[in-house]
Structure formats: C-alpha cells, structure tokens
Structure 1
C-alpha cells in the first residue's frame, strides 16, 4: 500500500516543462539529477554532457556499468579508447563508447558508480521473489509490494511493445520484475553515491528508468524522501502526455536499422 500511495503522489511531477538543450545550463538545484536518454542517440549524450558541465557533480551513476567495472575507472585517462578499455566497455552490448565519452569528459573528477544488474541476477527473478534477489533493503525501495493489476497490465504491454511483441506472454511478468529491480538498484546506488560524496549526483540511464511515477526517482523518493531530485527525460519525435519527468527534450529520431528485425 505504501508503494501505491507514493506512486499516486508522484504520478505527475510538480513542474513539467519541455526545454531546449540550452535549458540544461540552468536546471534547478538538487541533490540528484536523473538524466534520461535513448541509448543509441548521439545528441542525447551530448545533451547529458552539457547538463553535467553545469551541474558539476561529485558522482555519476551509470546504468551501463557494473559495480566491478566502475571500480576500475581510472582517476585520469588519455583518450576515449583508454577509458573504454579500463571500463571493459567493449562486448557489453551498449552502444559505441565514443557516444558516452563526452559524459565522462564533462566531469572528469566525478566518482563513478555502476548500477547495472548482472545477467545472472536478472535471470534469478524468474525463479525467486525479487525481494530475495535485490542487493539492498527491498522494503525501503518498495520491492516487497505488488503492483496494482492496472499498473502490472500497463507495464507488461510496454515490455511487449519494447520487444516488438515477440516475447511469449508468460515471460512478460518477469520482464516487468526485472525492470523494477533495475529501478531499485539505480536508486540504491544513487543513495550510496550521495552518502559517500555529498553530491550532487548525476544518474545516466534510459528515459524509461527516470519516470517519476514508477521509475528510479520513485524508488529513491520512497527510500530517502528527504533527498531532492530533478528529472530530465529525452524523447524522439514526441514526449508522453501527461509528462512523466520534470523537464524533457524532444529530438528527431536517430538513424538506425529496424530494431525489430532481430526478432523476425
């Protein structure tokens, strides 16, 4: 019930405004900044770098890095290739590191944290309760609470659409649970980064994870209601209505091959 009440309270952000990239130069002050992206869109990463240059974070949390990868981040580096090698980026399945390099360049002194869920941990939620799989306190981050039937159905529909309607229906509940696990882990690591460094903390993740209603910002608000945050979403062509973030940027779609071709 506590989780459902919180989600209802956060269904819409207190302020919601579409901005141009220059609006990233003067975001409101906060402890944490969630900066969403479409992963393979180069302009989205340049926008994140622009925001980071203005925020001057003490720490950055990445959905793309595991804890072990982040621990290997060097204090200094000579090139994009050198940093990518230190982080063992190649072969992870994420877009080319050169897209992400401007983010690191924008805050070279920031401490790097990884919030990626390893594959074996993600697979475990199909066999075990998510509260047992999560590395933190499941109650604090809302993982002990079931979703309402309406939200469960909505999230399963979104998972089906994201996977080109090619997944067997019986896998969809597990996919929703994995998403909840990822959101909670982003929030858990963000809270730790804030505690370690004093902030501000920037979180780099997909725009689907920065929804105020049920993404990582909601999990962080549940666990640490005193922590202030600003949420920026980035979308292609159009943003959702109603808004799910405090601010958002809309760009043209990046050129890419048909993402559904792999499912055919």
Structure 2
C-alpha cells in the first residue's frame, strides 16, 4: 500500500503541475479496473485536486454511449440544475457499470460546470464493427499488427480462453473503434483540456487511445494506469502507474470452465 500511495502522490503532482504550467491545458487519461473501489476513490481525489488547482477540463466518460450525448446535453441545460443521478437516469447509463463509482465524477463535473462527453461505442455499433469491419463503419482500418495482437490476446484472456482467435480478432476491432472515437473526442476538446475515464486497456500509450491521437496532442497527454498489484504492465504502457490491492471478486473463469449439466432425456 505504501508503494501505491507514493505512486498516487506522484500522479497527483503530475496533474497539478500540468494545471499550473504555462503549457496548453492538460489532457489526462485515467485508467481503471472497472470494479476496484479503491481505484475509483483515488481517481476521484485526483480529479478533485486537478479542479481545485483551477483546471476546467471536459470530462470524457467511457461509461456513456456516444449516441446518448443529446440526452446528456439536454439534462445539463435544465433548470434547476440536475443531479448526477438524474443525468445518469436520463442518459441511459449503460449496463454492466456500477454507477455508485461514477456518479461522484458526474456530480463534481455538474457542480463545476464542466462538459460531460459520452465516448463509448455502443454494443449495437460494436456488433456492426464486428460484422462489417472498421472501414465500412466509419473508422480507420489502418491498424498496426502490434495493436491487433495486443487487443486480441487481451480479449482471449478476458474470456478465459473460451473463444476462438477469429472471434477475438473481430471483437478487437470493436475495441479499436472505441479507442479511435475516444481519440477523436479528445481532439475535439483538447483546447479546453480533457480528463478521460476509461479502462486501463484504453489508456495504454502503446496500443490504446493515445496511439490514435495527433502527435501534438499525444505529446500533451498523460496516461495513468490504475493497476492491481497482481498486474504487470508492458514497458511504456503508461506514463504513471498507481497500484492498489486487488478487489475481492469471484474467479470469473471458474463458472465458464465448469461442465454443463447433462440434458434431460
């Protein structure tokens, strides 16, 4: 834990230094293990510290699908000012997210008058990418082999080796689409400054969102991975790493590897 605190302090110093420098507004990518409560608490503290230093970035969130941006904008413009819970309810916070972790970020953004930007590619759009490919769905198909390899391996691992390589590669295409759209959104808000909340895979400098940023934007960006102490990141994946103990959880692969009960005759 001492190691985690030291790294956390280093990351906080980085955020504040970016905010106080004469350079353009900071672009900070905050990774996460989605269900790790300690990491969300640390990220929220760092986000608050950045805002207290005077920064007013756009908050980009993987947790909102991009087709719900009009709902977010409508709720933000309402009078009286909305609550975070109202915005999440109206904008259809996607399934699979524990909104107890993310609502405090939304509320802080509302309190400080920050833009809230939906940057996820929906499941329906992801299925289109998987079936039609990147080029035919509005994304760049010029993807380096190293990016395909990294994403495909991660997907095979996260599915406990229970999917074939061809399926994993199609799913990797959807991951690339998300990375590319997040990068486009960062470019759109770069002059103001950006904080992106997304999974650790997305914020990797080598194969994630930064890979798709323009050179000048990538040079301004800082990627902070929030890892559990059992994770070993590839060299150069992040500018900074914050390490926490693993979140208590059941083995996700245990159920997948259990044999199915025999069917009744």
TM-score tier by shorter-chain length is 0.7 to 0.9
Answering whether residue 211 of structure 2 is matched by residue 218 of structure 1, we say: yes
CA contact (8 A) 1:113 1:193 kept: no
Q: 2:116 aligns with which of 104, 109, 112?
A: 112
Work out whether residues 32 and 227 of structure 1, in 8 Å CA contact, stay in contact via their aligned partners in 2: no
1:100 equivalent to 2:92? Answer no
Is 113-122 or 125-134 further displaced after alignment?
A: 125-134
1:7 aligned residue: none
Given that 1:37 and 1:234 are in contact with CA atoms closer than 8 Å, whether structure 2 keeps it comes out as yes
RMSD between aligned residues: 2.4
Q: Please tell me whether the aligned partners of residues 70 and 113 of structure 1 are also in contact (alpha carbons under 8 angstroms).
A: yes
Query: 1:26 pairs with 10, 13, 17, which one?
Result: 13
What is the TM-score normalised by the length of structure 1?
Answer: 0.78
- Number of residue pairs matched by the alignment: 233
Distance change >3 Å, CA 174–CA 23, structure 1 → 2: same
Alignment-derived partner of residue 169 in structure 1: 165
- Corresponding residue for 1:37? 32
How many Å apart are 1:171 and its aligned residue?
0.4
SS in 2 for 1:72: helix
Which residue among 195, 206, 209 is the counterpart of 1:202? 195
Match of 2:153 among 151, 154, 157: 157
Q: Which residue of 2 aligns with 1:235?
A: 227
> Normalising by the residue count of structure 2, what TM-score does the alignment of the two structures yield?
0.78
Higher helix share: 2
The DSSP-based 3-state class of the residue aligned with 1:115 is strand
Cα distance change of structure 1 residues 69 and 154 upon mapping to structure 2, 3 Å threshold? closer
Determine if the alignment matches structure 1 residue 181 to structure 2 residue 177.
Answer: yes
1:205-242 per-position Cα deviation (integer Å, ceiling 9, x unaligned): 001111111110111135x5476111111001144142
User: Taking structure 1 as reference, are residues 18 and 244 closer, same or farther at Cα in structure 2, changes over 3 Å only?
Assistant: farther
| CA distance in 2: counterparts of 1:190 and 1:94, whole angstroms | 24
3-state SS of 1:37 partner: coil
Secondary structure at 1:69 match in 2? helix
2-side partners of 1:152 and 1:241: how far apart? 15
Matched, 1:59 2:58: yes
CA separation of 1:226/1:96 partners in 2, compared to 1, >3 Å: closer, same or farther?
closer
Matched, 1:125 2:129: yes
Q: Which range moved further: 169-178 or 207-216?
A: 169-178
Separation in structure 1 between the aligned mates of residue 115 and residue 141 of structure 2, nearest angstrom: 31
Distance 1:18 1:115, change over 3 A: same
Offset of residue 123 of structure 1: 1.3
Q: State the Cα distance separating 1:26 from its structure 2 match.
A: 2.2
Gaps of 5+ in 1: 1-16
Residue 6 of structure 1: aligned partner:
none
4+ residue runs over 4 A deviation: 224-227
